[in-house]
Amino acid sequence: MELQCIAKEIKSLEIKLSGFITSEIKLATEVASYLIDSGGKRIRPILCILTGKALGYEKDDLITLACAIELLHTASLIHDDVVDNSEIRRGKKSIHKKWDNAHSVLVGDFVYSKAFQLMALIGNKEVITSLSNSTNRISEGEILQLTMVEKEINQKEYFEIIGRKTAELFKASVKCAALLSEASDNQLKSISQFGFSLGIAFQLKDDLLDYFGHQSETGKKLGKDFEEGKLTLPLIKTLELSSEKDAKFIRTSLKEKKIENFEEVRSIMENSGAIEEIKNEINKYSLSCLSGLKILSTSPYQETLKEIVIDLDKRKV
């Protein structure tokens, strides 16, 4: 993915992120910087910047908005890792493993508060309302997922969870940039469609990579979802398409969190045809993304947004 058209803005984003998370409380800065400085894809702030630029917005508060969005995402990751007891995040020990749960919860709250300080700095009521509503929906998604722990969720429930947990912030990233740019109602609707569909496609790919990715590239432990007993679409589809014997084996392995059965489960998944079905789902949402982008005038920024969608199928991280 070429981001040359916003190279200056990305550099500014990184500088401002580091500056915004500083605190007179040294520990807060140290722990928050540990995750922020480890990088990450920055896909959400990149989408925000590209959308704003595609709509002709040139003011500095676009970068402030992008930083707020990245901090909201970072805070949710910190809390997620505590809930899921995750060991690895962005190729490093997760915060709660390097320090402890107390550090994770409190620093996660600190990062959230920084995001809302930035939103207040922007001073746009529509943007603040939209981001606040999205943050609420993301939190509800986390709670919804918690209520379904150890339950065999269906496809509808899965999409409800990822729509809230993942796609909501993708949508907010582009919608808020459009609000800042005083986009028309039609532009807002199409841009929101693009963001939400991209978020779904991104999560579908992420869930597939949990079974067939590489830790050195993804920065996450392979089989993390399986080890946590978490049902995602690749496994939901596999259960639908597999024999009764194989489905029983998968259910038992998942319930008892038998990571030693992971390779056999992957083999069943490959033979079931589930991977092809997931790829078809990703393609469906990718087409919805591209349709949503038609509202934007042709520019290097719009073309880069298209490239992000097209490159999703090649994504290894």
Instruction: Please state, in angstroms and rounded to a whole number, the distance separating the CA atoms of residues 134 and 44.
Output: 13
CA dist., res. 174 & res. 183, Å (int): 11
Measured CA to CA in angstroms, residue 137 lies from 15, 26, 88, 204, 310 at distances of 29, 32, 26, 19, 28
Residue type, 84: D
Task: Summarize the confidence of residues 213-232 as an average pLDDT.
Answer: 80
In this predicted structure, what is the pLDDT of residue 1?
62
Residue owning tokens 């409380």: 25
- Are 120 and 131 in contact, with CB atoms under 8 Å apart? no
Question: Is 256 in a helix, a strand, or coil?
Answer: coil
> In this model, does residue 317 exceed pLDDT 60?
no
Tokens of 155: 């496809």
Lowest mean pLDDT among 102-111, 188-197, 239-248: 102-111
Q: Identify the three-state secondary structure at position 261.
A: helix
**pLDDT exceeds cutoff 60 at 246:** yes
Highest mean pLDDT among 71-80, 150-159, 196-205: 196-205
Q: What percent of the chain has pLDDT over 90?
A: 75
**Predicted confidence (pLDDT) per residue in 178-212, tens digit:** 999 999 999 999 999 999 999 999 999 999 999 99
Task: Provide the phi-psi class of 86: left if phi over 0, else alpha when psi is between -120 and 50, else beta.
Answer: beta
pLDDT one-digit tens code per residue, 263-311: 999 999 999 999 999 999 999 999 999 999 999 999 999 999 999 999 9
Given this model, what pLDDT does residue 216 score?
A: 62
Q: With beta carbons less than 8 A apart as the criterion, state whether 302 and 296 touch.
A: yes
The pLDDT score that the predictor gives to residue 299 is 96
Quote the pLDDT of residue 93: 86
Residue at 241: amino acid letter: L
The Cα–Cα gap between 1 and 312 comes to 10
Residue spans per domain, the chain: 4-314
- Residue 56's pLDDT band (cuts 50, 70, 90): very high
The CATH number corresponding to 4-314 among 1.10.10.10, 1.10.150.120, 1.10.600.10, 3.40.50.1220 equals 1.10.600.10
Nearest-CA neighbor of 54 among 297, 273, 221, 316? 297
Task: Report residue 64 as tokens.
Answer: 């402030």
**pLDDT tens string 163-187:** 999 999 999 999 999 999 999 999 9
DSSP 2-46: --GGGHHHHHHHHHHHHHHT--SSHHHHHHHHHHHTT----HHHH
Q: Which amino acid is at 87?
A: E
pLDDT of residue 42: 94
- Per the prediction, the chain carries an average pLDDT of 92
218: pLDDT strictly greater than 70: no
Q: DSSP 3-state assignment of 161?
A: helix
Percent of the chain with pLDDT over 70: 97
Range scoring the smallest mean pLDDT among 5-14, 132-141, 146-155, 173-182: 146-155
Using the predicted structure, report yes or no on whether residue 135 has a pLDDT greater than 70.
yes
Taking only the tens place, the pLDDT of each residue in 24-37 is 999 989 988 888 88
Handedness of CA 177, 157, 257, 263 (dihedral sign): negative
Band the pLDDT of 219: cuts 50, 70, 90.
Answer: low
Q: Grade residue 82 by pLDDT with cuts at 50, 70 and 90.
A: confident
